[in-house]
Amino acid sequence: MIFLLAVIGILFVASAFMPSYIIQGTVRMASPILLAGIGGLFSQLAGVLNIALEGLMIFSAFFSIVAAVSTGSLFWGIVIGVFSSVVLASLFASISLGLDANIFFAGLATNLFAAGFTVLLQTVLFQEKGIIHGTDLIKITEINIPIIKSIPILGTLVNGYNLFVYLSWFIAFLGYIVIYKTTFGLRLRSVGENPGAFRSIGLNPKKYQFIAILISGFTCGLAGASLSIPITAFARGMVNNRGWIGLVTIFVGGINPAGTVAASLLFGGAEETSYLLQVSSLNIPHHFIQTVPYVITLIAMVAYSIWKKSKTRIIKG
Amino acid sequence: MSISFQTKVWNLAGEGQVYLGAFMGIVLGLQIPNWPPVIAVIAILVMGFIVGSVLGLLPAALRLRWGVNELITSYMASLIILPVVNYFLAGPMKMPGAGINTTGYVNKAFVFPKILPSCDLHLGFALALVLVLMTYYFLYRTATGYSLRIYGFNEEFARYGGIGEAKCVLVAMIASGGLCGLAGITSSLGVFHGRMVEFSTYSMGWNGIAVALIARNNPFGVIPAAFLFAYILTGANLSGLLADIPPEVAQVVSAVIYYLITAQALWRIKLS
């Protein structure tokens, strides 16, 4: 929670003297990472390290555009994209939980499958390996909130994003409520803590883990759609490891929703930096700019682990 | 890969290790064109092994020192390495006048000779067989290999038996990373005639995981498994040339292999 307040504080201060497009870019870039992170958080709490987030996002990014192009409606695109991601999540969950597959290999398999299968379908359906465009589709617009719009700093921070950004905040808030204020959330957390004890009171841990993975599928579905729907196009590699970064937000945020929000804003900032360097006049080779988000992710991951370790050492005395 | 998975240490940096191993090996090869071929080739191979193992050492050290999840750090390390190598291939190390991003050729004497004249089967294959034997000997006939297997089998038990976590994780990651690096440089010296081409070894790291899985982490099983997999890949590439099917179909096939092999319940049904 302190971490979240600190990051939001930094954003507030930064928006006072930085151009508003940088702040908005950060928040916008953070939203797919946040969605993936919240989904991954559910399965992490249930004791499942879900490395399939990336694949789930790829699936939805692809199918939402295909559906949007063939139905001509963005709404159905999003619905079908999210549905496809949930279907893939249930495949992943049935293989890893139902058939006792190693969760890491099943996760890697899901990522590989999604990456390969979407390109395969793209070639077969569209005879096109590059980009699918939905040129006839109307683009979704940015939402303007009447009163907040005119408040100086708050206006830049919370106004003028598309539907998905607001949805990601809502999902994060909803995630907090479900995890901490419902029976389901309590049970979910206890599955991760101690599956044996959970079984002894007559509940099935696998059932809760299955549901948690389906929730990951749902949020990653939204995350994937939020990448492809606003630009009404799908390109291979467009998810660009955001699922993995979403996975890292869970750990860097200390396995709770507020921390995940903060960490995703941090990585959103990293991606925005990478983007700004790319369009800037500085002559840095694009190969190095590509690595910026990963370097920051790696540093954040290590820094968090160091901090956590020193904290446990203090507690132990 | 077999080594690290037997120890249950996750090396997801295979992609980066293969790529960096191939690149640094060739860079070294370009610096020493006048050395006697045998010594030069050995130096190049050692270079490939070292850079691969250094890239494996980093996540291992982070895990041991601060408990950072090696699965994520190794994957991130790999993601950082790939574009950096590509930068050198596209810029400073690029062969002048080449249409693709590639380094120049190393001295022809360093290139692995072909075993069969009609196909690409080269000396690297013999090297791979020797390495399989060595890996088997290491895992099943030495004390260190035994510790690694015990550690992978049951971490707690290994600790009670006095087997150090540090040693197992380090050895596993160094060996696994180093062998990945060797894989990269071997393919550059063999298949690519002694140069390093951009994207040339992409997805080799992932395929290594699939092969280790098919072989159920047994070093000898790796040989037929690698052949099976190479067959699938060649088929996929051919189908890409002959029909409108992209080579990505191989990715789908390997994903299905991952699924089916790790789905242990399926095996149990068959046995009972």
CATH number at residue A58: 1.10.3470
Quick check: helix, strand or coil at residue A132? strand
Q: A31 is in which domain, residue-wise?
A: 2-316
Each residue's pLDDT tens digit, A147-166: 777 777 777 777 778 888 88
Minimal CA–CA distance to B184: which of B212, B254, B192? Answer: B192
For A96, which DSSP code? I
Please give the Cα distance from A42 to A52 (Å, whole number).
13
Quick check: helix, strand or coil at residue A129? coil
What tokens does B28 get? 């070294």
Q: Are B143 and B132 in contact (CB under 8 A)?
A: no
pTM of the model: 0.84
Q: Does B69 touch chain A (CB under 8 A)?
A: yes
> So what's the pLDDT on residue A89?
93
Report CB contact under 8 Å: B72, A288.
no
Distances (CA, A) of B133 to B52, B172, B180, B223: 20, 17, 16, 11
**Chain B residue numbers touching A129 (CB-CB < 8 A):** 246
Amino acid at B22: A
Alpha helices, H only, B161-218: 165-189, 204-214
Structural domain count, chain A: 1
> So what's the pLDDT on residue B107?
66
> So what's the pLDDT on residue B1?
47
What tokens does A250 get? 């869970």
Report CB contact under 8 Å: A301, B80.
no
Alpha helices, H only, A46-102: 53-71, 74-93
What tokens does A271 get? 């991606």
Q: Are A51 and A104 in contact (CB under 8 A)?
A: yes
For A160, which DSSP code? S
Please give the Cα distance from B206 to B220 (Å, whole number).
19
Q: Does A247 touch chain B (CB under 8 A)?
A: yes
Residue B99 C-alpha from the chain's centroid: 28
Report CB contact under 8 Å: B66, A306.
yes
Report CB contact under 8 Å: B249, A115.
no
Q: What is the pLDDT along chain B (272 residues), one digit of tens a residue?
A: 455 555 556 677 777 788 888 888 887 877 777 777 778 888 888 888 888 888 888 888 888 888 787 788 888 888 888 888 888 877 776 666 666 666 666 666 676 666 555 555 566 677 777 777 777 777 777 777 777 777 776 666 776 776 777 777 788 888 888 888 888 787 777 666 666 666 666 666 677 777 776 666 677 767 777 777 777 777 666 666 666 666 677 778 778 877 777 776 565 554 44
Please give the Cα distance from A152 to A231 (Å, whole number).
28
Report CB contact under 8 Å: B67, A308.
yes
Please give the Cα distance from B133 to A241 (Å, whole number).
37
Q: What is the pLDDT along chain A (317 residues), one digit of tens a residue?
A: 677 777 777 777 777 677 777 888 888 888 899 999 999 999 988 888 888 999 999 999 999 988 988 888 888 989 999 999 999 999 999 888 888 777 888 888 898 889 888 888 888 787 776 777 777 777 777 777 777 777 777 777 777 788 888 888 899 999 999 989 988 888 888 888 887 788 778 788 888 899 999 999 999 999 999 988 888 888 877 888 888 888 888 888 888 888 888 888 888 888 888 888 877 777 777 778 888 888 888 888 888 888 888 877 777 65
User: Given B68, B83, B206, which is nearest A290 (Cβ)?
Assistant: B83
Please give the Cα distance from B251 to A176 (Å, whole number).
37
Rg of the Cα trace of chain B? 19
| Strand-pair partners of B197 | B102
Distances (CA, A) of B202 to A170, A234, B236, B265, B269: 39, 22, 15, 32, 36
Q: What residue in B sits closest to A127 (Cα-Cα)? A: B244
Q: What residue in B sits closest to A306 (Cα-Cα)? A: B66
Q: Provide the shortest C-alpha distance from residue B140 to chain A (in Å).
A: 24
Minimal CA–CA distance to B165: which of B95, B65, B79? Answer: B65
Minimal CA–CA distance to B176: which of B56, B81, B73? Answer: B56
